[in-house]
Structure formats: structure tokens, C-alpha cells
Amino acid sequence: MKKNLLIIGCAALLLTTACKNKQSMDNPFFGEWNTPYNIPDFEKIKPEHYMPAFEEGMKQQKAEIDAIVNNPEAPTFENTIEALEQSGALLNEVSAVFFNLSECINSKEMEKIAEEVSPKLAAHGDDIMLNAKLFERVKAVYDQRESLGLTGEQPRLLEETYKNFVRNGANIPADKQDRFREINSLLSSLTLRFGNNVLKATNDISLTLNEEQVKNLGLTDGQLAAAKEAAEADTSCKEAYKFTLHMPSWEPFMQNCNDREMRKLMWENYAFRCIPGSKYDNSAIIDSIVNLRLERAQILGFESHAAYTLDDCLAKTPEAVYKCLMDLWTPALKKAKQERDEYQKMLEKDHPGEKLQPWDWRYYCEKLRAERYSLDEEVIRPYFPLERVRQGAFDVANKLYGITFRENDDLPKYHPEAISYEVLDGDNVIAILYMDFFPRESKRSGAWMTNFREQYEDKDGNNVIPIISMVCNFSKPTKDKPSLLNFDESETLFHEFGHCLHGMLSQCHYRSLSGTNVPRDFVEMPSQVMENWCRHPQVMKEYAKHYLTGEAIPDSLITKIAAAATYGQGFINTELLAASLLDMDYHSITKPTKIVLPDFEDQAMAKIGLIPEIISRYKSPYFQHIFSGGYSAGYYSYTWTAILDADAFEAFRESGDLYNPELAKKFRFLLSHGNTIDPMKMYIDFRGKEPSVEPLKRNRGLN
């Protein structure tokens, strides 16, 4: 994924809002932070502080819920819905800090705490959602909604609160509630174990080579320098070069290494993580997760987990998702087969009689790209130093929305590599932004946006600014060069920054409706739309500058990048759509099914005709998005929202002004209003019509 949302282990906890009621103790969570903007004082937080803070947070919220339930006054919006929204401040705070840090500076201590607290949080969430007396009060207010004279965000909060209770079991029969609770507890532990296994497997496996072995492999000086520094940083490494399974190391190796056996070894190391029989086998966990999700969905009255999940999304039904994916699958697969045939011819010249394999694809893809478009990644990278790409994203945000970014190294930081910014709209600081760019063993792979605090207004009407974090895994600078991105990585930065804008520009009253708290198949739109600015020639000329000379990227190279924009899209779209369809197949089952790997995945891929030279973007044993990342029956959203983002950018393109002030104002309204208004209504108000799929097909060369 290119994104990710704050995952706190228990969806019900996302309802909680700020209401500090801390005790004066040594535990930093129990006192005022006394920091700029009330940022968590990361240096003072130790692992031993988390469990007492979690326990006290749950205790406080339980008391707040009891006060709502036992209120002798008749239920009202204020004494029930708003009171619930404002409950759990401490728990929300410690959860945000802990689960964010466990993603990017994990440790055995953090893993142990997560294993202990996750079932407790699930049980606590169930205690709220399955509290019959509390739901009785919520329902009483909901049933009177037409006569209450609610204004602003109040009707939406009431609707979402009621719906959240129903979706989390408030209406299920009493005799099924114990099993429902048990399922939630089991899932919280299983998803945690799945993610930890993937992280450990990714860190455990690497390819180490000596000076003689790297000669004539075709690897670039930059790759070799990074691999040498990785080896030097690993005291257990006995060789001169270390290549890891983290994308900044693995993918360039697969693209440039001319030794087919070494490519095969690295591909197998990557693709066979956590498979049946391996050290970190995830197969039994997958079987349990899939069947438990099905059982829970059916307790809630849905045919499948996908039906349950999609009922609260824009897509609404599994049928609609399958149709969207298959409409693009057919042209994508056709294009992928054409690409395969071209690469097969190239392979024949190097290895007569051999058949193209998955570990060959990236190598010949890059080779043909260089031949056809005279594009060499090592020619492109110098024009995309990380700092310039980051500044490019800042400049686009400034031109669209008028905001600026001021680095402030004095703000508390959770890790020395994190860069901290104040985000200003005029003279007003509207958000805090952290950027954390480089891989480390304690950080999970991928790139995501999250937050340590969401935007909201407190009980006195004061705006509480969000604390946003953007986490990536780009190549580290070497002794001789800064971090140089390829073009895909540049788009990743713009993508995650788009998520950050969604959180930073929020102007909502209620936290549970603010920022990125929108349907899963809408949340990727604000991020993906930013990629369009990243790749536009006009914008590229403004930020893509050579790290040594400062020279702007030449028009000839921009032309080549543009000409190659649809190159390789067969592979890119096929592997993405395959993963999306695999996700749907897991979560569309309607009866208990013994999930046997690799059989289930092989059958799913055979059904859609995936060619053997390509694998799903994520094979099941390391498909973190759906088994530990909150995207179950939701990975399709990257494609669903791609239709929206291409259509949205088309509005700017048609206007003749990439920074059209009127359109930017309308789009900022969409970004700033979170889930306070139906997202599709906001989109249509911005665009003036329903979205069209044609811009996406054109952009990807699939029309």
C-alpha cells in the first residue's frame, strides 16, 4: 500500500475524544505534557508506562460510560451522543502513541505489550458496543432525530454513532454475544501475530555477497554503496554487501542484477516469506482470520465479511467491487500478456530455450524501458533527491491551499530520523507534521500516513490541531550521495503527503468525523490525486533538480518519462488487481472453509487467468493490508479511488490551470470536512458530475 491509517487495534476506540482527566503520577501519560502544542513527550515515555496508562484509560472511559448509562435524565443528543463522543481521552491518547510507535520503532518489549493489551482493548470496545442500556439511550436519541432540531455536524454524528453500534453488535441476540466477544479478542491477537511474523521474516532474510561476487552483476554504484553501508551497520554480517527484502534494496536488485540465479534466490526469499512450513508460518493464522471474520459477519446478519465491510463503503456490495475490478482486469491482462511476449524474446537471446519467470520480469522490464525510451533509472534518480521531492510536495500544497511548512527541530520527536514541521495557514499553526523516511529493522515495510492526534474542537469550542506523521522506507543517503528517489518513490511521497493534507486541513467539530475518518474506498482519493501533480511536466520542472548542479530536469527527460508513463502498466495493474481480487475471494466466502495454502491462492489466480510470470502484488502469507492492516475486503479501494482521483485532476487539467483557485477552494472544502458530509456528495459538488472511468483508462493506457 501506499497508505495507511491510524490502526489502534480496536475500531470502536476511534469514537473516543479529548477530555483529559489524568492523575499526578510519574507516568507521563498521567500529567500534562507541557510541550509545544501539547505533543506527546516521547523522550519521557518508557515501555513500562504503557500498560498502566492503558488500564487507567479503560477505567476512566468505563466510568464515563457508566455516567451516561446511569444519567436519570431522558436521553438527549448532548447527554448521550456528545458525551460518548467526548469519552476516552486518555485511552485514545495512549493508544495513538503506542500503536504508532509499534509500527515504526518496534521492539520485543513493545510486541509483548501489544500481545497483552490487544485482547483487553477488544474486550473494552465490546463492553461499550454491546452495552444494552447505552445502546438503548443512543437509539432513543436516534429515533427522535427528525424532531431534535440538530444542526451542523450533529445529524451526521448521530447517524454514524448509531450505525457504529449496530455494526459492532448492539442488535445481536444475547446468546451470541459471548461468542462475538471471543471472536473479536481472537482476531485482535491473530492480526497482531500476522504482522509481527512478516516483520521478523523480512528482517531475518538477506543476501550477503563479497567483493568478488558483486563484480559484473550490473548493479549500480548507488546500489552497491547502500548495500555496503547496510553490511557495515550489521555487526553480524561477515560479507561486504548486504541486500535486504526491504523495497529500496530488493526492487533495484531485481531490476539490475544480470545473474539469473541470484535474481531467483532474491525473488524466492521475498515471495516465500511466512509460507507453510517456514519459521514464521502464517498459513494457520490466515485460516483462522478468514473463518472468524465470516462467523462474525454472519452473527451480524451479513452473508460474508465482504458484504459486512462494504455495506459501510461507497461500493456497498461485493458485486459492485468485482465488476469494477474485472472491468479493468481484462484490458490490464491483455497488456500484461503483450509485455510478457516482448520479455520472452529478450530472455531467449540471453538464455536460449528458457521460459520467462517472475524473477525475470523486473529485469527485462527495465532493460526494455531503457532501450525503448532511453530511460535509465540512474539517470533519473539524480533529479529526484528526497529533499527536492519533499519541497515539491510542499510547494504544490502552498499553491493550491496557501499553507506553508516551517521546520522546527525543537518539537518532541519519537525518533532522531523524524523531521518535525509546523504547518501554517497564514500566521496560524494548523497542524504538526512528522516525516520519517528511511528503513530500519524496527519499522514495518511500506509507506503510510497516521496521526498521534486528530483534529477536533474541545468542549469549550477551541480548535485542537492534528499531529500527523508520514512514514516511508526510502533508500538512505550514503556517504557520497543524498537519498535519491526513483520516479515511483517520488509518487509515493506525493501520495502519502496527500493523506497528510487530508488530516492537516481538517476543520471539523467532532474527532470521529474529522480528517481521514471517511469510508475506506474514499480515503485513498485525496492521496492518489496528488500523484497527478507529481508527474505533471509543469510541476516536475519546478521540483526535479539535479542534486549536484541544481539544474532543472531537462525537457528531453520529462518527455521520455511522459512517453513511458503507460509502459509496464500491464504488470502494474495486473498484480494490483490480482491482489484486490484475492482479498475479495478470501472475504466473500459464505460458509466455513478450510483455507489451505497455496491451494486457495492458486485457485483464485487460475480463476481470473493470471499468467504464471506474474504473482499477486502480495502473496497471502505476507498480505499485511488485509490480514493485519485494516484493509480486509478493502484493497480494491486503491482502484476504486483511482477512478475518482483521475477524474478530479481532469477538472484542473480541463481548466488550463493546475492551481485553479476556484477548484482548489472546492477541493480544500472536500479535504477539510472529513466525514461530516457524505463523501460522494462532496465529490459531485466539487466536480459537478458523477466521476468517469475514462481518464483513468487513458492515464494507464488501458483504453
The segments of the chain whose pLDDT lies below 70 read 1-25
Strands of the sheet with 467-471, listed across from one edge: 403-407, 419-425, 428-436, 467-471, 448-453
| Residue bearing cell 482527566 | 21
Pairwise CA distance, residues 636 & 392, whole Å: 29
Whether the CB-CB separation of 454 and 511 falls below 8 Å is answered with yes
SS (H, E, C) 249-313: HHHHHHHHCCCHHHHHHHHHHHHCCCCCCCCCCCHHHHHHHHHHHHHHHHHCCCCCHHHHHHCCC
pTM as predicted: 0.86
Whether the CB-CB separation of 435 and 442 falls below 8 Å is answered with no
What pLDDT, on the 0 to 100 scale, is given for residue 502? 98
Which candidate, 195, 199, 110, places its Cα nearest to that of 440? Answer: 199
Which candidate, 672, 637, 696, 691, places its Cα nearest to that of 3? Answer: 637
Q: How many CB atoms lie within 10 A of CB 338?
A: 10
Please identify every residue annotated as catalytic.
496
What pLDDT, on the 0 to 100 scale, is given for residue 5? 35
Q: Which helix (H) or strand (E) holds 464?
A: strand 463-464
Whether the CB-CB separation of 246 and 199 falls below 8 Å is answered with no
CATH architecture of 382-563+638-699: Orthogonal Bundle (1.10)
The Cβ-side half-sphere exposure at 86, using a 13 Å CA radius, reads: 18
Pairwise CA distance, residues 126 & 184, whole Å: 8
Residue type for 309, please?
T
Supply φ then ψ for residue 436, to 5 degrees: -130, 100
What pLDDT, on the 0 to 100 scale, is given for residue 74? 97
What pLDDT, on the 0 to 100 scale, is given for residue 25? 58
SS (H, E, C) 19-58: CCCCCCCCCHHHCCCCCHHHCCCHHHCCHHHHHHHHHHHH
List the CATH code of the domain at 11-129+131-167.
1.10.1370.40
As a whole number of Å, the end-to-end CA separation of the chain is 25
The grid coordinates listed for 433 are: 507534521
Whether the CB-CB separation of 529 and 400 falls below 8 Å is answered with no
What is the per-residue pLDDT across 198-220, written as a single tens digit (0 to 9) for each? 999 999 999 999 999 999 999 99
What pLDDT, on the 0 to 100 scale, is given for residue 444? 87
| Residue bearing cell 509500527 | 103
The grid coordinates listed for 480 are: 557520497
Whether the CB-CB separation of 607 and 656 falls below 8 Å is answered with no
Pairwise CA distance, residues 276 & 427, whole Å: 57
Pairwise CA distance, residues 10 & 127, whole Å: 12
Length of the chain measured in residues: 703
What pLDDT, on the 0 to 100 scale, is given for residue 377? 80
Alpha helices in 402-459 (DSSP H): none
CA angle 360, 204, 109 (to 5 degrees): 145
Give Cβ neighbours of residue 233 (< 8 Å, ≥ 6 apart).
none
The reply to whether domains 11-129+131-167 and 382-563+638-699 share a CATH topology is yes
For the chain, give every domain's residue range.
Answer: 11-129+131-167, 205-271, 382-563+638-699
Pairwise CA distance, residues 676 & 516, whole Å: 11
Give Cβ neighbours of residue 333 (< 8 Å, ≥ 6 apart).
570, 574, 608, 609, 610, 611
What pLDDT, on the 0 to 100 scale, is given for residue 703? 76
What pLDDT, on the 0 to 100 scale, is given for residue 630? 87
